[in-house]
Amino acid sequence: MNEPGKRIKTLRKNIKLTQQELADLIGVSRVAVSKWESQGDLYSHPKGEYITKLCKILKTTPDYIYFGHEMIMEDSPKIYYVGDNTEETIYSEAHMIPIISWVQAGDYHPAEVETDVDEIEKVATYERVSPLTYALKVIGESMTTTSGPYSFPPGSIIIIDPDQCGDTADGVFVIAKENGADSVTFKQLKYDGARPYLNPLNADYPKFFGEFRIIGKVIDFRPVKLP
């Protein structure tokens, strides 16, 4: 019997995730999760960053997945102890963030979005977030580049926390609203001397030096999924 796979499957069902949903959170295919749960040898089970992500989501440890060592949860829901004579390992819980529309982002109210909670597409993050945190799918080419460390192609997902909009350091990525505009824009915050401006990563798009208001800081990013 494939005991590691059985434990993965049981823990997955305990938190009511499908194989596809678990795969999306980890960043693998549904077929990979299916193999983890069904194939009998340890070589078929997740390794490296995948076992780390899996354990964070399932709220367990590699020792429990692989060997079934008893897992004892202490007072903190984020600290787990495994077996005897083991050091404590801290696993942060994933936060499920709603992916909203760009229209909603202009005047975001979480309570309104949550009315049809089962219909909402979500994305996981392990970053520190506030209850106001939301996600957007990038549209347009203004934040794509081949000349720097960051690029945000259309279809990728950015996660925004309005509570962190006070971080106005040079180079942070923000969601901003130009004065007089109803829509919001995703840009990098830069400075010309002491004067802030909104910088597109794509050199084919103009920098914005007008008046604007920052309404959220981008705290996490998910690239476009491969086919």
Whether this model's pTM surpasses 0.85 = no
User: Are 75 and 172 in the same domain?
Assistant: no
Structural domain includes residue 12:
yes
Residue 208 lies in a domain: yes
Q: Is residue 227 part of a domain?
A: no
Q: Residue 37's domain is classified under what CATH number?
A: 1.10.260.40
CB 165 within 8 A of CB 216: yes
CB 152 within 8 A of CB 201: yes
- Which of residues 58, 90, 122 is at a domain's end? 90
Give the per-residue pLDDT at 109: 57
Backbone torsions φ then ψ of 143, nearest 5 degrees: -110, 25
Do 141 and 208 lie in a common domain?
yes
- If you count DSSP H runs as helices and E runs as strands, how many of each does the chain have, helices first? 7, 11
66 and 49 fall within a common domain: yes
- Average pLDDT, 10 consecutive residues per value, the chain (227 residues): 80 89 88 83 68 86 74 37 37 74 77 53 84 93 91 94 91 92 92 96 96 94 76
Is 148 in contact with 206 (CB distance < 8 Å)?
no
Beta bridge partners of residue 220, listed in sequence order:
159
**Number of domains the chain is built from:** 2
What's the N-to-C CA distance of the chain in angstroms? 33
What's the pLDDT at 91?
40
Last residue of some domain: 66, 90, 114? Answer: 90
From 23, 56, 90, give the residue that closes a domain.
90
- Domain hosting 38: range is 3-90
CA 158 vs CA 51, 97, 167: distances in Å? 24, 10, 17
Q: Do residues 34 and 105 share a domain?
A: no
pLDDT at 86: 37
Tokens of 148: 């720097």
DSSP secondary structure of 139-167: -SSTT--SSSS----TT-EEEEEGGGTT-
